[in-house]
Amino acid sequence: MRRLIPILLVAAGCAKAATPPEVPPVWPALIGEYASHQDTVSILEDGGTLHLYRWHGSRSELRSRTDSTLDIAGNAGRVVVRRGPDRRTSAIVVNGVEFARLALGPEGGASFQIAPRRPVEELRREALAATPPAETGDFLPTDLVELVRLDSTIRLDIRYAGTNNFMGTPMYSSARAFLQRPAAEGVMHANQWLRAQGYGLLIHDGYRPWYVTKMFWEATPDAQRIFVADPAKGSRHNRGCAVDLTLFDLRTGQAVEMTGGYDEMSPRSFPDYPGGTTRQRWLRGLLRRAMEAQGFSVYEAEWWHFDYQDWQKYRIGTQTFEEIAKKQ
């Protein structure tokens, strides 16, 4: 597989592509999701133009009439904008029907958070005492590699080592990221290609001990469990073959803005979610292109989560980062 990497990089394209421009400064306060009692809509930007998108599929271009009024293309009506004291849009009125702005998740780099169903330390004690599911078959030897030792230009923002995560409390004892060696090498090559485009990889999570997956499952409400793995099956993170990551701008050193936040449990997390801006969707696509060229596939519910192609060849692990580091 290692010999295929240069070919895949050529196929992905080595010429630097032009990043779409930022939207006008007044638009981010309007772009977002809105709901009435019967329907949900988004205002998004596409190709330098605002659009009204109804979640059942129809989309119409919007044209500004005044500071607080937009016409729907094709003489299809009007959108009236209502703003709060901070000038952020609090609601829109579409042809007389009011849609309140949805607070799907935090913005500005903060993480979406839930209220755990039980105390975290109680969950931790139970998970540490539990045993991962039994597995049969032939597996490859575990060979977990620390990403930053493989490529020092990869940056870390390990959310589960701090409080900026959906649980709101540290889940890891240290901020480290490990992957099985072939997957780690794939991330390294993706990072090298992205740096030629002006971006680098920012890692939020890699190998995850099984006991942490069990804590996530027990803490998460039933309606949101699509976003967490079932410990009875184990996760690809537990096998060292899944990575959560985003891009940072080499020029500014700042993480880029995607359509939704990391670990956000909402439709904005879907890798094909059509909302947001052209720039956000382009950056999301750039990340996906770089990772898919290295044998990864994006998870259907999370734009930031990528699984390595050979994940099923490795066992579920529950060893801590410190236990892994002692062997290296």
Active site residues: 302
- Give ∠ CA 239-243-249 in degrees, rounded to 5: 165
In the block, tokens 């990551």 appear at 245
Catalogue the E-assigned strands of the chain. 32-35, 40-46, 49-54, 59-66, 69-72, 77-83, 89-94, 97-101, 144-146, 155-156, 178-180, 199-205, 242-249, 296-299, 302-308
d(CA 269, CA 233): 23
Cβ atoms within 10 A of the Cβ of 38, count?
7
3-state DSSP helix/strand/coil % of the chain, to nearest 5:
25, 25, 50
Rg of the chain (C-alpha set): 21
